[in-house]
């Protein structure tokens, strides 16, 4: 009698599905923004990247590179420019007199600190009282600037974090590139629940 044929090797077990609620430690970057119209004059090319999150209240843009870019912000109605990117900052001598400038340094892909977010919110509270439109930028106008824009919506429009983040991403594809940036929005929401701001006058 012939020996029985050897049994086929068992198929390797499929990797276990992640438990509900599990998330990677860090999300991969979003896809790049859609290409801009390269036939535009340089200043128009740059300003076409600007997005008003709330018209004439809060805008987001990539880093201005020269005086012409800053002049374009003036024409758009921006009064206060907030720089988040220490590696991509406009030159002080390029600023027109009509734009105020504040630097709140946040390293790229880092979670913004509570102190940095609070500084931004306090600045925007004063700007709201004076009806001064604010524009916030980082190097590409996506991760850090997107996180601060979502924080603005939480504070001034009462949005919950997920709704604020979604609203920013609708207007600024690719915004908020890391879980840490999303977490900063949620931390602000939690702080405001514990200590609600006074009603606007």
**Which residues are known catalytic residues?**
138
Q: Hey, which bits of 10-133 come out as E strands?
A: 51-54, 58-62, 80-83, 100-103
Neighbours of 4 (CB within 10 A): 6
d(CA 79, CA 98): 7
Q: Which of 74, 76, 82 is nearest to 56 (CA)?
A: 76
Would you tell me how many other CB atoms lie within 10 Å of the CB of residue 22? 7
β-bridge mates for residue 58, sequence order? 54, 134
- In 5-163, DSSP assigns E strands to 51-54, 58-62, 80-83, 100-103, 134-138
CA 4 to chain centre: 66
**CA 56/CA 119 separation, integer angstroms:** 21
Whole-angstrom Cα distance, residue 69 to residue 45? 10
């Amino acid at each position: 009698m012939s020996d029985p044929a050897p049994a086929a090797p068992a198929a390797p077990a499929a990797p276990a599905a992640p438990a509900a609620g599990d998330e990677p430690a860090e999300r991969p970057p979003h896809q790049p923004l859609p290409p801009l119209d390269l036939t535009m004059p340089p200043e128009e090319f740059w300003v076409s990247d600007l997005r008003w999150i709330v018209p004439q209240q809060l805008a987001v843009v990539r880093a201005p590179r020269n005086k012409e870019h800053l002049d374009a912000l003036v024409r758009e109605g921006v009064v206060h420019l907030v720089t988040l990117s220490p590696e991509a900052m406009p030159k002080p001598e390029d600023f027109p007199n009509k734009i105020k400038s504040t630097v709140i340094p946040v390293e790229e892909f880092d979670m913004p600190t509570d102190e940095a977010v609070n500084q931004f919110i306090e600045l925007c509270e004063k700007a709201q009282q004076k009806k001064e439109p604010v524009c916030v930028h980082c190097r590409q106008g996506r991760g850090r600037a997107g996180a601060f824009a979502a924080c603005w919506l939480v504070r001034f429009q009462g949005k919950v974090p997920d709704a604020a983040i979604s609203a920013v991403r609708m207007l600024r594809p690719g915004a908020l590139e890391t879980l840490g940036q999303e977490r900063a929005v949620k931390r602000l929401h939690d702080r405001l629940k514990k200590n609600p701001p006074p009603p606007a006058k």
